[in-house]
């Protein structure tokens, strides 16, 4: 319930700034938007709970789960895509695409994310459904709240909370399945063999699900969610929003007994639109922050209009430009292509394309090299100058590989690898499939080959599919 200023309580000196939150009991409604919401809920919940169970063959020794964030193996998998820790920029790109897609969605269709797709909406809908099945629809739930505490009330409250807890636990369990083999995780969780971190994650995720969808509900959308606060910046007069057509609804009043609406507005002040609203607002007061764009008030009002033989759409899903046009007797039209939507669409397309191209063309071998700084160089007893390097080879292919490493830039320079060859001009580096090979390499040079204090040096790694040249420096006295 939204906060409102209150006058001083009668007989009291106290001025209260906020009303006590009233519990919202949305009424059952049916119609196009309610059906869409059921579909969205079903698909999203099915995805959340079933996606970790999908298998994907990546060959022997590799995880067989299609969607997996393998924290221990420091790898993320999405079907054929495998992301290494060094490629975390893909995550950045994904977040940019997701954020701009949300802006685009909002500019085109208003708060469709909030009303249909957000997890808070999905779980709140589910939790309200449980209340309705156990206690009853809106009036029964209001009466139930006012009933004195007794065995029956306690039993029903316990039943509702128990079912909520089971749903929340399922939510938390499914969350953990994305971080390890889902079937093994399920077995471990239910036999008490899962890690403390797994049980902790279930408690935290499930606990938040229980509290936010069971008890906080619309308060999350109105007070806690930042998106609701800035989404108006993404709207323009052509964005689709939920609106009450005051020009035809007013002057409102109780339905006339003879059903003659001549000379008056079509709103019969039945409050059906308010009673079905999950945030408890009255859309007839205009577009509000608390409106999550779920469209249930449209379904409710359309049913009322049908009952009185009036045209549907007194509460509609339309743009303010169209509302104004219709109010003035003009023609309404939906404008999807606008500068704002074109810019958002172009950014999504650009970032998405760059990511896709980078993904399909990325090399299967990459190299990291780090020049040791302490000490920068060492002069050996035979007079040669030696520099140390930490050299890492990422073999992202599915086969074990042998790479050959040579140097360029300093004539006659040789390499020693810890645990391997010494004074060599070419090294053979073996790196297992899907792993990082780390090598400690010392490069030695005669001092008279060094023309400056820091001389450019190239490490040249040659593998079966590509050659990687790494630029670094060789330091001398
Ligand atoms: S006013 Fe209508 S669209 Fe907005 S939250 Fe309430 S029921 Fe949903
Ligand atoms: S449901 Fe329609 S007719 Fe009833 S109060 Fe709301 S806007 Fe008016």
**pTM of the shown model:** 0.82
What pLDDT is stored for residue 13 in this prediction? 52
Higher pLDDT among residues 229 and 31, named by residue: 31
Looking at ligand 2, which residue's alpha carbon is closest to its atom 6? 273
What pLDDT is stored for residue 3 in this prediction? 42
CA 454 / ligand 2 centre spacing (Å): 80
Segment 142-171 mean pLDDT: 96
Q: What angle, 0 to 180 degrees and rounded to 10, lies between the N-to-C axes of helices 119-134 and 151-177?
A: 150
- Is residue 353 exposed (0-12), middle (13-18) or buried (19+ Cβ within 10 Å)? exposed
In 3D space, the residue among 262, 162, 149, 175 whose CA is nearest the CA of residue 210 turns out to be 162
Give CA–CA dist 33/40, Å, rounded: 10
Give CA–CA dist 91/83, Å, rounded: 9
Report whether residue 83 contacts ligand 1, using a CB cutoff of 6 Å.
no
Looking at ligand 2, which residue's alpha carbon is closest to its atom 2? 301
CA 150 / ligand 2 centre spacing (Å): 37
Give 159-213 pLDDT, tens digit per residue. 999 999 999 999 999 999 999 999 999 999 999 999 999 999 999 999 999 999 9
- Side-chain half-sphere of 321: how many Cα atoms within 13 Å? 12
**Architecture, CATH, for domain 365-475:** Sandwich (2.60)
Contacts of 176 (CB under 8 A, 6+ apart): 185, 189, 194, 198, 201, 202, 205
In 3D space, the residue among 443, 432, 356 whose CA is nearest the CA of residue 405 turns out to be 443
Segment 299-303 mean pLDDT: 97
Does position 21 have pLDDT exceeding 80, yes or no? no
Q: Is 72 helix (H, G, I), strand (E, B) or coil?
A: coil
Does position 289 have pLDDT exceeding 90, yes or no? no
- Rounded percentage of the chain residues whose pLDDT exceeds 90: 70
- Counting ligands in written order, the one closest to the CA of 283 is 1
Q: Which atom of ligand 1 is nearest to the CA of 290?
A: 5
What pLDDT is stored for residue 86 in this prediction? 80
Tell me the pLDDT band of 334, cut-offs 50, 70 and 90.
confident
Domain layout of the chain by residue ranges: 32-232, 236-327, 365-475
Report whether residue 295 contacts ligand 1, using a CB cutoff of 6 Å.
yes
Please choose from 113, 124, 297 the residue to mutate so as to test ligand 1's pocket, defined by most ligand atoms within 8 A of CB: 297
Q: Could you tell me if 59 and 398 are in contact, meaning their C-beta atoms sit under 8 angstroms apart?
A: yes
Report whether residue 242 contacts ligand 1, using a CB cutoff of 6 Å.
yes
Tell me the pLDDT band of 12, cut-offs 50, 70 and 90.
low
Give CA–CA dist 394/327, Å, rounded: 65
Does position 73 have pLDDT exceeding 90, yes or no? no
- Rounded percentage of the chain residues whose pLDDT exceeds 70: 96
What pLDDT is stored for residue 1 in this prediction? 40
What pLDDT is stored for residue 18 in this prediction? 66
CA 52 / ligand 1 centre spacing (Å): 33
Q: Cα–Cα distances in Å, from 247 out to 138, 252, 309, 328?
A: 30, 11, 18, 9
Give CA–CA dist 408/25, Å, rounded: 75
Residue with token string 């099915």: 46
Token pair for 32:
């196009």
Residue 475 has phi, psi (to 5 degrees) of -100, 145
Category of 39 on φ-ψ map: left (φ > 0), alpha (ψ -120 to 50) or beta: alpha
What pLDDT is stored for residue 349 in this prediction? 96
Token pair for 410:
């300093």
What pLDDT is stored for residue 465 in this prediction? 86
Segment 407-432 mean pLDDT: 91
Does position 2 have pLDDT exceeding 80, yes or no? no
Residue 424 has phi, psi (to 5 degrees) of -100, 150
Token pair for 251:
């002057």
Does position 365 have pLDDT exceeding 60, yes or no? yes
Report whether residue 293 contacts ligand 1, using a CB cutoff of 6 Å.
yes
- Side-chain half-sphere of 256: how many Cα atoms within 13 Å? 13
What pLDDT is stored for residue 403 in this prediction? 95
Give CA–CA dist 122/127, Å, rounded: 9
Please list the residues that pair with 461 across neighbouring strands: 405, 468
What pLDDT is stored for residue 17 in this prediction? 66
**Strands 241-244 and 315-318: what pairing?**
antiparallel
Write b or e for each residue in 101-125: b if 16 or more Cβ atoms lie within 10 A of its Cβ, otherwise e. bbbbbbbbbbbbbbbbbbebbbbbb
Give 48-70 pLDDT, tens digit per residue. 999 999 999 988 778 999 999 99
Does position 88 have pLDDT exceeding 90, yes or no? no
Looking at ligand 1, which residue's alpha carbon is closest to its atom 2? 297
- Side-chain half-sphere of 2: how many Cα atoms within 13 Å? 13
Give CA–CA dist 141/68, Å, rounded: 42
Q: Is 334 helix (H, G, I), strand (E, B) or coil?
A: coil
Give CA–CA dist 424/428, Å, rounded: 10
Segment 18-43 mean pLDDT: 91
Preceding omega of 19 cis (within 30 degrees of 0): no
What pLDDT is stored for residue 5 in this prediction? 45
What pLDDT is stored for residue 16 in this prediction? 64
What pLDDT is stored for residue 46 in this prediction? 98
Segment 265-283 mean pLDDT: 95
Give CA–CA dist 243/327, Å, rounded: 13
Neighbours of 134 (CB within 10 A): 18
Token pair for 157:
């409250």
- Side-chain half-sphere of 283: how many Cα atoms within 13 Å? 32
Segment 242-246 mean pLDDT: 92
* DSSP H/E element including 443: strand 435-445
Average pLDDT over the chain reads: 91
Does position 296 have pLDDT exceeding 80, yes or no? yes
């Amino acid at each position: 319930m939204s906060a409102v200023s209150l006058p001083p309580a009668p007989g009291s000196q106290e001025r209260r700034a906020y009303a006590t939150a009233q519990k919202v009991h949305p009424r059952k409604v049916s119609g196009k938007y309610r059906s869409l919401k059921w579909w969205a809920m079903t698909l999203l919940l099915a995805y959340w709970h079933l996606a970790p169970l999908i298998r994907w063959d990546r060959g022997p020794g590799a995880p067989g789960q299609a969607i997996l964030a393998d924290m221990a193996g420091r790898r993320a998998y999405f079907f054929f895509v495998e992301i290494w820790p060094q490629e975390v920029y893909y995550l950045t790109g994904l977040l940019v695409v997701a954020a701009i897609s949300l802006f685009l969605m909002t500019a085109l269709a208003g708060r469709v994310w909030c009303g249909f797709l957000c997890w808070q909406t999905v779980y709140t809908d589910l939790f309200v459904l449980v209340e309705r099945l156990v206690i009853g629809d809106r009036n029964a739930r209001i009466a139930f709240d006012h009933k004195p505490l007794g065995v029956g009330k306690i039993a029903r409250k316990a039943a509702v909370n128990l079912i909520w807890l089971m749903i929340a636990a399922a939510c938390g369990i499914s969350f953990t399945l994305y971080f390890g083999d889902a079937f093994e995780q399920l077995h471990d969780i239910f036999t008490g063999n899962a890690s403390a971190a797994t049980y902790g994650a279930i408690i935290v995720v499930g606990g938040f699900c229980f509290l936010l969808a069971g008890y906080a509900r619309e308060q999350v959308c109105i007070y806690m969610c930042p998106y609701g606060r800035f989404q108006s910046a993404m709207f323009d007069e052509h964005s689709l929003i939920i609106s009450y057509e005051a020009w035809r609804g007013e002057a409102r009043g109780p339905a006339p007994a003879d059903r003659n609406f001549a000379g008056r507005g079509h709103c019969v002040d039945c409050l059906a639109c308010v009673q079905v609203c999950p945030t408890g607002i009255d859309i007839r007061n205009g577009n509000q922050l608390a409106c999550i764009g779920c469209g249930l008030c449209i379904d409710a009002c359309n049913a009322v209009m049908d009952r009185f033989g009036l045209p549907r759409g007194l509460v509609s899903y339309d743009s303010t430009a169209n509302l104004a046009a219709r109010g003035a007797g003009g023609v309404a039209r939906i404008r999807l292509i606008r500068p704002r939507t074109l810019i958002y669409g172009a950014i999504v397309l650009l970032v998405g394309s760059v990511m896709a191209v980078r993904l399909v063309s990325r090399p299967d071998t990459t190299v990291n090299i780090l020049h040791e700084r302490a000490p920068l160089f060492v002069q050996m007893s035979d007079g040669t100058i030696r520099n140390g390097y930490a050299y890492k080879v990422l073999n992202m292919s599915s086969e074990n590989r042998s790479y050959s490493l040579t140097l360029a830039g300093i004539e006659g320079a040789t390499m020693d690898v810890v645990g391997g060859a010494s004074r060599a001009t070419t090294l053979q580096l073996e790196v297992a499939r899907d792993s990082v090979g780390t090598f400690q390499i010392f490069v030695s040079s005669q001092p008279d080959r060094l023309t400056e204090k820091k001389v450019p040096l190239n490490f040249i790694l040659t593998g079966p599919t590509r050659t990687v040249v790494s630029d670094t420096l060789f330091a001398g006295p």
